[in-house]
C-alpha cells in the first residue's frame, strides 16, 4: 500500500543533516558562484492545525527554481512530499531533521559564511519560522543570541511577544511577521542580493 503525502506526493527524501550537506559544500559553493543557486530558505518550526499554516506550503511551492529549501522540525510535513527537483544534482529540498537538529542548520550557515568570507546575515538566506509551541523558544533565543537577523515568524507571533518585546525584536533583530507568500515575495522580504 502506498500512502500519499499532504500534497499528494508519494515519496519523501530525508537525511540531510550537516554532515551530508557539508560533504558537498564545494558543489553548493560552486553552484552559488555560478549563479545557479541564488538564495537559500530555511523553513522550519512547528506544525499544527491552526489556519494560516498553508503559508509554508505555498511559500515552498512558489520559491524560485534557483533556490534551495532547507527545512527542519515538524513544519516540514506541510511540504516535504513536494518534488522540487534539483540544481546540478543538489536536491532543492534538504531535510535537516527535527527541532533538536537546529544546530545542524546553524553549522551549515556558518560553513557557508566561512566559504564566502562573510557573516551569516550577509548570506542569501531567509529564515522563516513556523511558530506553534514553547519548545521553539529555545531555537529562537539561540538564533537571537547568535545575532541572526531578519527572521520571519508566523502564522501568529508567540504569546510572550508583548508590544514592548516586539518593538525590541523589530528594532534590534529585524524580526517581522509573515503575511502571504505572494506579498512577502513581492515586497522582497524573503530575498536578498546574491553573493558577489
Residue 11 maps to a domain: no
Confidence check: pLDDT of 95 > 80: yes
Domain residue limits at 114: 18-186
The predicted-structure confidence for 140-156, as pLDDT tens digits, reads as follows: 888 888 899 989 888 87
Residue 194 maps to a domain: no
- Lowest-pLDDT range of 55-59, 113-117, 182-186, 189-193: 189-193
Confidence check: pLDDT of 190 > 70: no
Of residues 90 and 196, the one with the higher pLDDT is 90
Name the average pLDDT for the chain.
84
Q: H or E stretch including 113?
A: helix 102-115
Residue 113 maps to a domain: yes
Q: Cell 543533516 sits at which residue?
A: 17
pLDDT for residue 1: 47
The predicted-structure confidence for 123-179, as pLDDT tens digits, reads as follows: 999 988 887 666 677 778 888 888 999 898 888 777 778 889 889 999 999 988 888
Cell of 104: 545542524
The count of structural domains within the chain is 1
Residue 193 maps to a domain: no
Residue 145 maps to a domain: yes
Q: H or E stretch including 166?
A: helix 163-173
Residue 117's contacts (CB-CB under 8 Å, 6 or more residues apart) are: none
pLDDT for residue 187: 76
pTM, whole model, 2 decimals?
0.86
pLDDT for residue 188: 67
Return d(Cα 41, Cα 39) in angstroms, integer: 7
- Residues 86, 92 contacting (CB under 8 angstroms): yes
Residue 196 maps to a domain: no
Residue 139 maps to a domain: yes
Residue 118 maps to a domain: yes
The predicted-structure confidence for 22-71, as pLDDT tens digits, reads as follows: 888 889 999 999 999 999 999 988 777 677 788 889 999 999 999 999 98
pLDDT for residue 114: 93
Return d(Cα 177, Cα 164) in angstroms, integer: 15
Which CATH number do you get for residue 141?
Answer: 3.40.50.2030
pLDDT for residue 196: 47
Amino acid at each position: 500500500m502506498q500512502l500519499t503525502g499532504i500534497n499528494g506526493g508519494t515519496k519523501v527524501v530525508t537525511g540531510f543533516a550537516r554532515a551530508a550537506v557539508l560533504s558537498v559544500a564545494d558543489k553548493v559553493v560552486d553552484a552559488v558562484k555560478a549563479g545557479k543557486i541564488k538564495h537559500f530558505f530555511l523553513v522550519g518550526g512547528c506544525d499544527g492545525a491552526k489556519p494560516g499554516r498553508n503559508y509554508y506550503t505555498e511559500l515552498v511551492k512558489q520559491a524560485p527554481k534557483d533556490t534551495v529549501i532547507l527545512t527542519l522540525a515538524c513544519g516540514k510535513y506541510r511540504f516535504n512530499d513536494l518534488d522540487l527537483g534539483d540544481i546540478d544534482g543538489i536536491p532543492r529540498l534538504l531535510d535537516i531533521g527535527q527541532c533538536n537538529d537546529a544546530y545542524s542548520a546553524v553549522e551549515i550557515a556558518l560553513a557557508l559564511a566561512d566559504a564566502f568570507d562573510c557573516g551569516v546575515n550577509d548570506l542569501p538566506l531567509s529564515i522563516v519560522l513556523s511558530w506553534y509551541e514553547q519548545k521553539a523558544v529555545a531555537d529562537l533565543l539561540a538564533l537571537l543570541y547568535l545575532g541572526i537577523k531578519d527572521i520571519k515568524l508566523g502564522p501568529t507571533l508567540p504569546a510572550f511577544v508583548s508590544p514592548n518585546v516586539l518593538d525590541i525584536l523589530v528594532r534590534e533583530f529585524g524580526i517581522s511577521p509573515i503575511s502571504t507568500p505572494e506579498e512577502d515575495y513581492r515586497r522582497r522580504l524573503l530575498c536578498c542580493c546574491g553573493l558577489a
